[in-house]
C-alpha cells in the first residue's frame, strides 16, 4: 500500500469518526449544547484533526446530515425490486426509508430540526439532499423500473419529498419519532395520488 493511499484511508477514518462523534454528542446533549470538545472526545481524535476536516461545528453537522441522508437514500435504493408489482415496490421502499430514519430517533430529531437552524448553509444542505431524492424518484419511476404506466413530473416528485419531510417534522413535534414507520401509509397514498398512470 502506498503512503498516499494510507494517508487517504486515515483521513477517511478520521472524518468518519468525527461524524460518529458528532452523532453521539448531539444524541447525548443536543446540538446547541454540544461543543467541539465533546465531538473530538467522542471521536477520540484531536482538535487539530477536527479542524483538518471542518471549519466549524455547523460544518460538521451539515456533513453528518448529508451522510445520514445518503445512508437513508441508499436504503431506499436497495429496497427497489423490479420483480415485484409497482404498488408493493413503492410501499416496501418507503417503509424501508422510514425504518432507517426510525433507528435513531434522537439523531433524526436533531438533523431535521437543527439543520434548519443553521440558516443558509443548512437550507442549502437540505436542498441538495431533497434534490438527490427527487432525482432518484424520477429516474426509477419514469424509466419504467417500477411501472411502465407510471409517470412523475419533477414538480410532483419534489412535492412528494416535501410532503414526506413534513410528515417526519410533524412526528418529531408530536414526540412520535419512534413511530415513523406508521408514516408509510400516508406517504404511499401521497405517491399514488401524485403519480400519473395510463
The model's pTM is 0.83
Q: Of 129, 132, 153, 130, whose CA–CA distance to 141 is shortest? A: 153
pLDDT, position 63:
95
Q: Check residue 9 and give its pLDDT.
A: 46
pLDDT at position 132, please?
94
**In this predicted structure, what is the pLDDT of residue 29?**
86
* First-to-last C-alpha distance (Å) of the chain: 55
CB-CB neighbours of 110 under 10 Å:
25
Q: Nearest 10 degrees: CA dihedral of 146, 131, 181, 16?
A: 120
pLDDT of residue 14: 93
Which segments of the chain have a pLDDT < 50?
A: 1-9, 198
Domains and CATH numbers, the chain: 1-54 (1.10.10.60), 57-197 (1.10.357.10)
Structure confidence at residue 17 (pLDDT)? 95
Angle at 44 between CA 109 and CA 35, to 5 degrees: 45
pLDDT tens figures, 21-77? 999 998 888 888 999 999 999 999 999 999 999 999 999 999 999 999 999 899 988
Amino acid at each position: 500500500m502506498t503512503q498516499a493511499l494510507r494517508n487517504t484511508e486515515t483521513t477517511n477514518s478520521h472524518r468518519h469518526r468525527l461524524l460518529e462523534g458528532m452523532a453521539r454528542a448531539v444524541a447525548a446533549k443536543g446540538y446547541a449544547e454540544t461543543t467541539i470538545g465533546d465531538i473530538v472526545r467522542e471521536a477520540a481524535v484531536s482538535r487539530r484533526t477536527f479542524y483538518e476536516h471542518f471549519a466549524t461545528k455547523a460544518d460538521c453537522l451539515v456533513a453528518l446530515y448529508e451522510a445520514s441522508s445518503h445512508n437513508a437514500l441508499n436504503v431506499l435504493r436497495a429496497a427497489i425490486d423490479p420483480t415485484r408489482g409497482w404498488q408493493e415496490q413503492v410501499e416496501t421502499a418507503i417503509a424501508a426509508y422510514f425504518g432507517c430514519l426510525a433507528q435513531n430517533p434522537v439523531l433524526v430529531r436533531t438533523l431535521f430540526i437543527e439543520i434548519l437552524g443553521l440558516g443558509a448553509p443548512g437550507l442549502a444542505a437540505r436542498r441538495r439532499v431533497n434534490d438527490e431524492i427527487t432525482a432518484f424518484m424520477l429516474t426509477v419511476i419514469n424509466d419504467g423500473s417500477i411501472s411502465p404506466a407510471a409517470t412523475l413530473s419533477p414538480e410532483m416528485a419534489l412535492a412528494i419529498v416535501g410532503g414526506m419531510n413534513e410528515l417526519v417534522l410533524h412526528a418529531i413535534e408530536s414526540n412520535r419519532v419512534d413511530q415513523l414507520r406508521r408514516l408509510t401509509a400516508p406517504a404511499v397514498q401521497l405517491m399514488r395520488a401524485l403519480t400519473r398512470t395510463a
